[in-house]
């Protein structure tokens, strides 16, 4: 199990920086019917992208992703998910092995090329959602 703070601490600075360009919309707070666990789900998209030559450019046709955190206990351990490619092909399998995700979008294969050390972490959409909910989190949690 992992908390958002633990996942954020293991996320590289580049993803944290790019999260400032992510827009969080249609956020919904609630509880899962089956478990009663609290969750936040939102659509996210990037207003900027990195071009082929490495420049930051306006994203004229952004994809929208489903980004979600489910809090599974009173210590606020989470199951984190996002439908973006970075989460799917880099973080989902590694996070699932630590109890911080479920195999939801990927094929369940280890990310031997994109994350060969199986490090846990978050995509920029998850970092943006975390920043969106930060004011609502208990003092000292983050």
Q: What is the pLDDT of residues 40-84, one digit of tens each?
A: 999 999 999 888 898 889 998 899 999 999 999 988 899 999 999
Please state the pTM of the whole predicted model: 0.93
Mean pLDDT of 120-136: 96
User: Do the Cβ atoms of 63 and 43 come closer than 8 Å?
Assistant: no
Percentage of residues of the chain with pLDDT beyond 70: 100
Residue 26: CB atoms within 10 A of its CB come to 10
What's the mean per-residue pLDDT of the chain? 94
Of residues 70 and 1, more confidence is placed in 70
Residues near 18 by beta carbon (within 8 Å), at least 6 away in sequence: 46, 48, 50, 124
d(CA 39, CA 13): 26
Of residues 20 and 51, more confidence is placed in 20
Q: What are the extents of the domains in the chain?
A: 2-135
Q: Look at residue 142 and tell me whether its pLDDT is greater than 80.
A: no
What pLDDT shows up at residue 9? 95
Measure the CA angle with vertex 115, ends 112 and 119; round to 5°.
125
Sign of CA dihedral 132, 7, 141, 81: positive
3-state secondary structure of 93: helix
């Amino acid at each position: 199990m992992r908390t958002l703070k633990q996942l954020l601490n293991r996320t590289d600075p580049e993803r944290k920086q790019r999260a400032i360009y992510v827009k969080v919309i249609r956020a919904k707070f609630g509880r899962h019917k089956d478990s009663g666990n609290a969750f936040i789900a939102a659509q996210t998209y990037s207003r900027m992208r990195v071009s082929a030559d490495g420049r930051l450019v306006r994203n004229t046709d952004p994809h929208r992703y489903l980004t979600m955190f489910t809090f599974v206990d009173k210590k606020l351990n989470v199951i984190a998910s996002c439908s973006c490619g970075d989460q799917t092909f880099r973080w989902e399998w590694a996070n699932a092995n630590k109890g911080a995700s479920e195999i939801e979008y990927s094929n369940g294969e280890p990310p031997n090329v994109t994350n060969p050390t199986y490090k846990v972490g978050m995509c920029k959409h998850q970092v943006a959602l975390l920043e969106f909910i930060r004011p609502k989190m208990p003092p000292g949690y983050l």
